[in-house]
Structure formats: structure tokens, C-alpha cells
Structure 1
């Protein structure tokens, strides 16, 4: 499974929260929902995305922004507009005075904001609540705000999303999930393909003639008793060639990468309530539950049991 697929197919990745927001100036919202990833695009008007710990980014009509959580950020009509509303957990909205206006600002099906006119600014947004551990590997490499320009072919998707977002028919959530997924995938593909984007080395490595096949072996069969020699034999190069090339391209040796990949998969499997520790261990290549537990605790700082309890309780990602 590649990182983009893992991002969209992980536990609870379905059922994204989507909203059409309508505003007249001046307007500014502070987003504190701690969502791991959100997508936004302007249908009308410009907006500034102002992260707490990064430079602000201008969002023009047709541009698509991906906001990496859980850190808060502000979206506003201008850089100097003071925050008027705050969106917190469960997408509840409050004024700076503490009044909940979630219901009073509702304008219709998945539509919210200023009731005066059609609004000089119209924004479509979608929020994912819990990507898989595989997806988090990709999220950790994203900038606080990633913006891809309007000329990357997203207009048809944005237009269809705008139409479908305000419909209320059977199966509508499924339709919206798929459209949002397509938009996010297109944006991430553009970012990953951009040589100046700072995309992770392990993604670029997938197209390498030596490292790419090696990565596919490890991803497809993580439970196999791999050695550097056995991987090299499958790829058709020497052990030394594989070790050197893999480390140069990915940034770590093959076995270190495999160990991290196994723990990533284990973390996802631990979210399945009926999966025993021994079963998870076997599926990701550990000889016993004890061996997995020791490695998990050493790398992640918590035991598998503690991790599972937090995950199933819905503890926000940090």
C-alpha cells in the first residue's frame, strides 16, 4: 500500500466533514478542530491561510490548499482581519465572546456563514479526522499549508464537488467522500511529482530501478523473513549495491526501513479490536507478541496495549 492510499483507506478515514462557507468582509475564522488534514478551495474570492507557526499563504479561486494538523490556523479575507469565530472540536463554532453559532449561521444543506447576499467569498472545505498510520508517514512530510495552483486540472472536480455538496440524497456522503478523495489525491500527486516540493525521499525512491522494486517487496510482504541478501537477490543486484543505493536514496538502510514499516502496519492493525497481539505480530513479521511489544515500546514510547486504548478511545492525533 502506498502512502496516499494509506491516507485515504485507514481506520475512520471515511465520513469526512464537508462544508460550503459563505462570507462577506471582514471575516476571519480560527480553526482549532485538531483534524490531521483538511482540504480547502475558494469558489469565489481570495483568502489567506495563516498558520500559527508558518508564513501565511494566499488562496485564490481554483487553488487547492491542504492544511496539515493538528496545529491551529486562521482563514481570513485579509492578513490583518481579527478573528471573529473559532471552530473547535466536533466542528462547533463559537464567537470570540463564547456564543455557539453553529446552528444560527446554518444556511442550508452543508452550507454555513453570512446570510446577507451570495457572499463575496465562498469556500469549500473537507476535513479528515483519522488517517491510517501509513498515511501519517506522508502527513509528517507535508508543510503546514500546501497550496497547488488552479492550473493543475482540479476545476472539474471542484465544480462537481460544489454541486454535490449542497444536495441531500441517498448515498450522498459516499459521493462526497469519493470526490474529496480524488481532489486530495490530485493535489498530493502534483506535490510529490514536483522536484522542488521537498517531497519525501522514500516516495521518490519508488521510481528508482533498484530501490523501487525493493520497496515493493517490503511493502507487499512485510512478514517475510527478509535479509539484505534476499532482497538483493530478488532485485537482481549485489548485496553491497542494494545496501548502498537504498541508503543513499531512502536515507536509511533496508532493514531499518523494514523495521519502521512493520511497526507502522502494526499500529494500524492494533486499531482492530479483535486482533490479538500475537496475530498482529505474525502478520507484520515478528516472532511473538513479546518481540513486537518490545520493539513498539522502544520506538513509540508506549506499549501496543496503551496505543490501542488511546486509538479506540479516539484520542486526538498529535
Structure 2
């Protein structure tokens, strides 16, 4: 499992929130749900304005990805005061708190102030998070935009399917949304996006192979020496090249990956701490606990309890 696969393993759509918007100006809504959100502009125009004042105009065919790192306005134009607020769980209210979930329904999974709105978009939101996904999400800006023509032609399919009620529709939409997320991230990273170092490093013949070994076999007792041997280079070359391309030494990267996997297992399963330690490559629960506390500031047991109480994932450094 590489970091992109890990992102979807952490936030993979399951009963995803997918909604078609159909709006006539003036319209504006404040988004404060903290969700990873795809905004696919299908007609007309809009603008995403973050709380820091950055503006991202969208025209038909553009796709914006909001990483959930900040709140923002989604509006027809700058200067239009918000009329609605989107809360966690995709709950929609007026500024006064009046529930608007059903008041603006204009069709199957279609919502807005006009069934034939001049500004139209499809929204897909992921509510879940994980530590594996957090490692990738922390490398993203609050909002990124992939312009029309740069991405695979998945939007039209999503538009059509979102307006249908058919057998298996929920799973179909989930997988479409996942494909759009993968395609958007690939397109942005491979274009002008500021990719994290390990993204580019994956293309290197030696370091890419080393990263794949780490991602797919975290339980193996890796050392710099046996990792170098596995990819056919010297220990010195691997250590230097890995650090130059990835931004941290091989064992530091391995440790971060193991601990992210451990955090997700603690959050999503009832495995014992000993079983988690064994699965991610720590010989004893004590060894895992020591490393985990150093990275997360709490023991694995405390982390599991905190997650159960609703603590947000993503506490460890990138």
C-alpha cells in the first residue's frame, strides 16, 4: 500500500455524500464541515474563498479539492454574503440555524434554489480520516484546482449517476468518487502541484523500489543494509539518495509509516496492542508504545481511547 492507496484506505467513500447543486445567483454558502471535498463545476461559474482570503475561481470543467484544512466560502462571486452554512455531517442550515436539508431539494440528489440553475456543480465529500491519509493530506494546500481538460472525463459520468436511483447506486457513486479523487491528485501532483518529496521519489528506480518495499512490507525487520541489498545498491548510496529525494532517512520514513499504520489499526480495530505491534513490525508492545508515545505524545492505549471519544486524527508530524 503506497501513500495514495493509503489515502483511500483511510477515507474511501462508503455511502459517500454526493450532491448536485443547481443555483441561480446570487448565492453563497459557508463551508465549515472540515471534510475532504471535491467540487466539480459543471456549468456557470463559482469561486472558493478561504478564510485567509485566497480566491479560487472555477468555470465549467474545473475541479477543486478542499483538503479540510480550513473553512471557506463557496459562492457565485466575491462579496456575496453567505446565506447558508454547511456543518460537519453535511448538515445545512441558515445563518440563524434553521435546518435546510429538505427545503432546497429540486430533484434526485439535487439541491439549490432553481431546478435549472445557471451555476451547477457536483459535490463529493469524505468525512472520514486516518493517520495514513493524514500523511498525504498534510502535503496538500487547503484548496487546489485542476482546470478543465487536465483531468480524465469522469465528471459527466458522476453528474449522470448522481441524478439516478438504480440498484447498487450507492456503491457505484462511491467508486466513481474515489476514481475522481485519485485522478485529481495524480493530475495535480504530476502537473504544477507542489508534490511531497516522496511522490517524486517513487519514480526513481532505486528509491521507488525501496519505498514500495517499505509500504508493502512494514512488518519486515528492515535495516538500511538489507533494504539496500533488496534494491541492488550499497548502504551508503541508499541512505544518501533516499534522504535527498524523500527528505528524511530510510529508517525515519519507515518508523513514521509503521506508526501511522499502527494508529489506524488502533482506531479501526479491536486488535490487542501486542497484535498491532506485531503487524507493523515492532517486536513487543513496549517497543511500539515507546515509539508511539514519542511521535504522538500519548500511549497507544490512550490514543485508542481518545479516538473513541472523537479526537481528530493527524496529530503526528508529517
**Which bracket does the TM-score occupy, shorter chain normalised?**
over 0.9
Alignment partner, residue 183 of structure 2: 186
Give the alignment partner of residue 304 of structure 2, picking from 286, 304, 308: 308
Alignment TM-score, normalising by the size of structure 1 = 0.94
**1:228 corresponds to which residue?**
224
5+ long unaligned stretches in structure 2? none
Offset of 1:211 from its aligned partner? 0.9
1:129 aligns with 2:124: no
Matching of residue 246 in structure 1 with residue 245 in structure 2: no
Instruction: Give TM-score, length-normalised by structure 2.
Output: 0.94
User: In structure 2, the residue corresponding to 1:218 is in which secondary structure?
Assistant: helix
Tell whether the 8 Å contact from 2:89 to 2:127 is kept in structure 1 after alignment.
no
Is residue 280 from structure 1 mapped to residue 276 from structure 2 by the alignment?
A: yes
* Structure 1 residue 273: Cα displacement: 3.0
Residue 172 (structure 1) aligns with: 169
Following the alignment from structure 1 to structure 2, what is the Cα–Cα distance between the partners of residues 25 and 14? 32
Deviations 1:185-225 (A, max 9, x none): 1111111212x321000111111122111111211211111
* Residues 89-108 of structure 1: pairs in structure 2 closer than 5 A: 89-108=88-107
In the aligned structure 1, how far is the partner of 2:6 from the partner of 2:54? 29
Q: SS of 1:240's equivalent?
A: helix
Query: Which structure 1 residue ranges, 5 or more long, are not aligned?
Result: none
Q: Deviations over 1:25-74 (max 9, x none)?
A: 11111011121x10011111111001113511011110111001142111
**Aligned residue in 2 for 1:161:** 158
Aligned counterpart, 1:294? 290
The corresponding residue for 1:140 is 138
CA contact (8 A) 2:292 2:300 kept: yes
What secondary structure does 1:125 align onto? strand
Q: Is the 8 A contact 1:6 1:131 kept in 2?
A: no
Question: What is the match of residue 205 of structure 1?
Answer: 201
Find the aligned partners of 1:20 and 1:11 in 2 and give their Cα distance.
21
Partner of 1:34: 34
CA RMSD of aligned residues (A): 1.6
Matches within 5 A, 1:73-88: 73-88=72-87
In the TM superposition, what whole-angstrom CA distance separates every residue of 1:128-179 from its partner, at most 9, and x where no partner exists?
Answer: 111332222111111111100111243x311111111011222111000111
* Residues 226 and 280 (structure 1), Cα distance of their counterparts in 2 relative to 1, 3 Å cut: same
Q: Confirm or deny: 8 A CA contact 1:13 1:131 kept in the other structure.
A: no
User: Measured at CA, do residues 130 and 277 of structure 1 come closer, stay the same or move farther in structure 2, by a change above 3 Å?
Assistant: same
1:12–1:46 CA distance, 2 compared to 1 (3 A): closer
Report how many residues are paired: 314
**Cα contact 2:265–2:271 (8 A) shared by 1:** yes
Structure 1 counterpart SS, 2:205: coil
